[in-house]
């Protein structure tokens, strides 16, 4: 298949001229057509989606129940409210559903626009709680978003940070070494000076690194002992993708704060009611005020429960890892439907993503040399087989000496590198 097709290229060419960032999207434009894990582009090309819109589309394309929700709201104006100051019923419905799936002590949530803002407000509530705090703690290879506070704690790629001012923070290594490093920080600083520790239970953009058990359990012990708020960034890993509602639950840990977004359709900073500051300390005009987004998030939780999709996530995740291991890929890893493997170098990785795309399979890169596979929660065994066959065939092709992609697609290859 030649990508982008004629109709997609027309749109992409114009878009590139008008957008305010260096725009390097995948080489196709979505049409409205699709079903389940498949979608079509403007040229009628059919793709199998193992990216789930970067984990933000958990139920695939044209889900009938979600379409009914959209229909219900199609004749309503305004659809968007100044949600922190004016209440709508959808607030309550979403918060009730959300509280039914969060650990008991995390009994309140602040709704906001995006993942970065969910993180931003998670760190803000921790700072507000502790007047003596001077800095936060994050990890190497982390990704927490692109607003300045969240970006200060992001370390996956220097490109994201260059020249931007930072909030004060220290960085731990995402390995067992972190325990010693944290003890060392505590030797030279009082625990009160630490506003929070923030971590992804599986690092997403940084390479699908799974938190070592010894590290994460040790960190929780130290943070509990020293009363340091522990934030689990669940923007990518949460909402069921790990086979449990929150990825941190796979480690039997209850954090003090969680950030969620993506699959939830709105951002949410989740914690105990007591952690949140006085009125006005955190807010936003549109944060949590889009009726349709709230209703879609609520219905998404309902569908995951009703269809028992956590079971499917666990079952298909295991099957996917087994198939990838049979193909002899390096470092096949994952929990639930958060899966990845590693190629020998970045060129091979990028070549494989592009070749799969030419064969109708959408994958995402992560880190420098890894590929992540994060299909919708409704994925079936036969679709995993189809994806693995495409990966195998594509890998054989790109692995030949002197292999080079040809044509227009070469202009779109940067897109693989910078996806969050
Ligand atoms: N935190 C994590 C772990 C993420 O993966 C992302 C986005 O990929 C974010 C935060 C930022 O979310 P958003 O892009 O919605 O601002």
The pLDDT assigned to 419 comes to 64
Burial class (CB in 10 A: 0-12, 13-18, 19+), 336: buried
- Asked if residue 309 has its Cβ within 6 Å of ligand 1, the reply is no
Under the banding of pLDDT at 50, 70 and 90, the label for residue 361 is: very high
Predicted local confidence at residue 407, as pLDDT: 85
Q: How far apart are the CA of 52 and the centre of ligand 1, in A?
A: 14
pLDDT at position 25, please? 86
| 43 Cα–ligand 1 center, Å | 30
Question: What percent of the chain is modeled with pLDDT above 70?
Answer: 98
- Round to whole Å and give the CA distance between 41 and 26: 11
327 Cα to the center of ligand 1, angstroms: 31
Q: Which two tokens stand for residue 116?
A: 């970065």
Residue nearest atom 5 in ligand 1 by C-alpha distance: 236
Is the CB of 355 within 6 Å of ligand 1? no
**Closest residue by CA, ligand 1 atom 9:** 145
Q: What integer pLDDT is reported at residue 418 of this predicted model? A: 62
Helix, strand, or coil (residue 377): coil
Question: How much is the pLDDT for 49?
Answer: 98
Inform me whether the pLDDT recorded for 164 exceeds 80.
Answer: yes
Structural domains in the chain, CATH included, are 6-49+309-418 (3.90.1150.10), 71-306 (3.40.640.10)
| pLDDT higher than threshold 80 for residue 414 | no
**Residue holding tokens 């079903």?**
35
For ligand 1, the distance from its centroid to the CA atom of residue 143, given in whole angstroms, is: 7
How many CB atoms are located within 10 Å of the residue 166 CB? Answer: 11
Q: Is the CB of 154 under 6 A from ligand 1?
A: no
283, exposed or middle or buried, with CB in 10 Å at 0-12, 13-18, 19+? Answer: middle
Work out the pLDDT band at 16, boundaries 50, 70, 90.
confident
417 band by pLDDT with thresholds 50, 70 and 90: low
Q: Give the DSSP H/E element, type plus range, for residue 258.
A: strand 257-260
Assess whether the previous peptide bond of 329 is cis (omega < 30° from 0). no
**Greatest distance between any 2 Cα atoms in the chain:** 63
Is 415 a residue whose pLDDT tops 70?
no
For residues 138 and 152, what is the distance between their CA atoms, to the nearest angstrom? 9
Q: Which of 265, 266, 244 is closest to 337 using CA atoms?
A: 244
Least confident span in 141-145, 286-290, 325-329: 286-290
Q: What is the rounded CA–CA span in Å between residue 330 and residue 174?
A: 20
233 lines ligand 1 (CB under 6 A): yes
Query: Per-residue confidence at 390, pLDDT binned at 50, 70, 90?
Result: very high
Give the ligand 1 atom nearest the CA of 233: 3
Closest CA to 42 of 74, 15, 78, 76: 15
| Residue 291 bridge partners (DSSP) | none
Alpha carbon distance 317, 243 (integer Å): 9
Question: pLDDT tens for residues 247-275?
Answer: 999 999 999 999 999 999 999 999 999 99
Helix (H) or strand (E) run with residue 339 in it: strand 338-342
| pLDDT at residue 173 greater than cutoff 90 | yes
Q: Is the pLDDT of residue 182 over 90?
A: yes
The confidence score (pLDDT) of residue 288 equals: 87
pLDDT digits (tens, 9 = 90+) for 68-108: 999 999 999 999 999 999 999 999 999 999 999 999 999 99
Question: pTM (2 decimals)?
Answer: 0.97
> In angstroms, what is the span from residue 208 Cα to ligand 1's centroid?
14
CB neighbours of 97 closer than 8 A, spacing ≥ 6?
Answer: 297, 298, 301, 302
């Amino acid at each position: 298949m030649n990508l982008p097709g004629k109709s997609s290229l027309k749109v992409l060419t114009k878009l590139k001229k008008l957008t305010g960032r260096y725009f390097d999207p995948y080489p196709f434009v979505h049409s409205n057509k699709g079903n389940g894990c498949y979608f079509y582009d403007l040229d009628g090309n059919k793709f199998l989606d193992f990216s789930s819109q970067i984990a933000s589309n958990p139920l695939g394309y044209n889900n009938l129940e979600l379409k009914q929700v959209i229909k219900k709201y199609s004749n309503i104006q305004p659809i968007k409210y100044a949600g922190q100051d004016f209440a709508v019923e959808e607030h309550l419905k979403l918060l009730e559903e959300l509280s039914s799936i969060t650990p008991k002590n995390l009994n309140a949530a602040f709704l906001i626009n995006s993942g970065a803002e969910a993180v931003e407000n998670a760190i803000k509530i921790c700072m507000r709680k502790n007047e003596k705090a001077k800095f936060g703690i994050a990890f190497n290879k982390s990704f927490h978003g692109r607003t300045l506070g969240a970006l200060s704690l992001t370390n996956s790629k220097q490109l994201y940070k260059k020249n931007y001012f930072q909030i004060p923070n220290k960085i731990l290594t995402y390995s067992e070494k972190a325990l010693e490093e944290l003890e060392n920080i505590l030797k030279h600083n009082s625990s009160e000076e630490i506003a929070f520790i923030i971590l992804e239970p599986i690092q997403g953009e940084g390479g699908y690194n799974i938190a070592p058990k010894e590290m994460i359990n040790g960190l929780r012990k130290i943070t509990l002992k020293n009363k340091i708020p522990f934030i689990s960034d669940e923007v990518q890993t949460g909402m069921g993708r790990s086979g449990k509602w929150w990825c941190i639950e796979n480690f039997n840990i209850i954090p003090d704060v969680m950030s969620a977004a993506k699959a939830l359709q709105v951002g949410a900073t989740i914690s105990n009611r007591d952690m949140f500051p006085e009125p006005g300390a955190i807010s936003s005009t549109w944060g949590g005020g889009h009726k349709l987004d709230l209703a879609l998030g609520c219905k998404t939780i309902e569908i995951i429960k009703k269809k028992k999709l956590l079971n499917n996530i666990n079952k298909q995740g295991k099957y996917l890892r087994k198939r990838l291991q049979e193909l002899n890929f390096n470092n096949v890893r994952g929990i639930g439907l958060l899966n990845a493997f590693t190629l020998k170098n970045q060129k091979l990785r990028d070549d494989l993503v592009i070749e799969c795309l030419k064969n109708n399979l959408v994958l995402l890169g992560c880190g420098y040399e890894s590929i992540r596979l994060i299909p919708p929660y409704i994925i079936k065994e036969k679709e995993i087989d189809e994806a693995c066959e495409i990966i195998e065939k594509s890998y054989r092709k790109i692995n030949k000496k002197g292999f080079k992609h040809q044509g227009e697609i070469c202009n779109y290859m940067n897109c693989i590198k910078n996806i969050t």
